[in-house]
Amino acid sequence: MENVAELKNVTKNFKGFSVNNIDLEVKQGFVTGFIGANGAGKSTTIKMMMNLLRPESGEIRMFGMDYKTHEKAIKERIGFVYDGNVFFEGLNLKDIRRIVAPAYKHWDDAVFYRYVDQFELPLNKAIKTFSKGMQMKASLAIALSHHAELIMMDEPTAGLDPIFRRNLMDLLQDLMVDGSRTIFFSTHITSDLDRIADYIAFMQNGELVFNQSIHEVAENYALVKGGLELLDRDTEKDFVRVQRASTGFKALTDNVQAVEDTFGNSVVIEQASLEDIMYYLKGGKSYV
């Protein structure tokens, strides 16, 4: 399987925060959802993948190429969709097309006008008058109009209503049918990922905790419930985190098989949602 992006030992240091030694591969032809709590380092990582920020150390290869020698060739193949308005606010879509189109070898006016039509975007109104959803669609229309192979999006669904989000997920899914396109996007809305993601990359405190297929995540992670008498130093090793209450314990495991071997039928094992996984890995406090 080919990777459209490969990060090796990538580190970026800010005052008080570091993205630390990230190894990340983005598989070609799939949708990868990039999750993690506020401040985990997702945007920083995406910016490095877009060459908007330079890592202090490590290597980033996009489509097997390096930004140092192939910046233009790489950018040709990526459509970047930001959260919010990236265009000059006073410009309308016609102006933006005039500025952006010549920058891309594979710009396709027919595709641009098709999406403008499909998204019901006005060509002559200033972008600053667009709603958040319209701005997102405008940004996506431009990304799609140069036949980008990789669509990178930083929180594209933030602040959008549920119906719009659902339509967007449907649209993204449609874009995937020919098998050549890749989508990588960060989000806090894990239900969007249940709908379309093939892989989940999870960041926490500047580190990549995992990058697994959605099936692997479902197979490996589970919530376990049982009586407190079952817990001791040995049995607890099967858990990533345990919450104790007077009525029993609840825990997250990343090794369902080990839990089954250790506890047999004496515990209840339930599927963990992405939200459960994020919550437990973050070290949520016992609330019972």
Ligand X SMILES: Nc1ncnc2c1ncn2[C@@H]1O[C@H](COP(=O)(O)OP(=O)(O)OP(=O)(O)O)[C@@H](O)[C@H]1O
- Contact set with ligand X (CB under 6 A): 14-15, 17, 36, 38-44
d(CA 73, CA 70): 5
CB of 148 to ligand X, least distance (A): 22
CB of 124 to ligand X, least distance (A): 33
Nearer to ligand X, 142 or 203 (CB): 203
Q: Distances in Å between the alpha carbon of 61 and those of 6, 25, 157, 171?
A: 5, 10, 27, 28
Nearer to ligand X, 38 or 246 (CB): 38
23-28 CB contacts, 8 Å cutoff, 24+ apart: 23/208, 24/201, 24/208, 24/211, 25/211, 26/150, 26/182, 26/184, 26/199, 26/201, 27/1, 27/2, 27/3, 27/182, 27/198, 27/199, 28/1, 28/2, 28/3, 28/4, 28/180, 28/182
Nearer to ligand X, 191 or 255 (CB): 191
* Structure token pair of residue 224: 């376990």
CB of 112 to ligand X, least distance (A): 29
Report phi then psi at 165, rounded to 5: -60, -40
Residues for the chain: how many in total? Answer: 288
CB of 177 to ligand X, least distance (A): 29
* Structure token pair of residue 201: 């990359």
Nearer to ligand X, 53 or 231 (CB): 53
CB of 165 to ligand X, least distance (A): 17
d(CA 150, CA 80): 8
CB of 284 to ligand X, least distance (A): 17
31 close to 211: Cβ distance less than 8 angstroms:
no
Nearer to ligand X, 156 or 226 (CB): 156
Nearer to ligand X, 14 or 88 (CB): 14
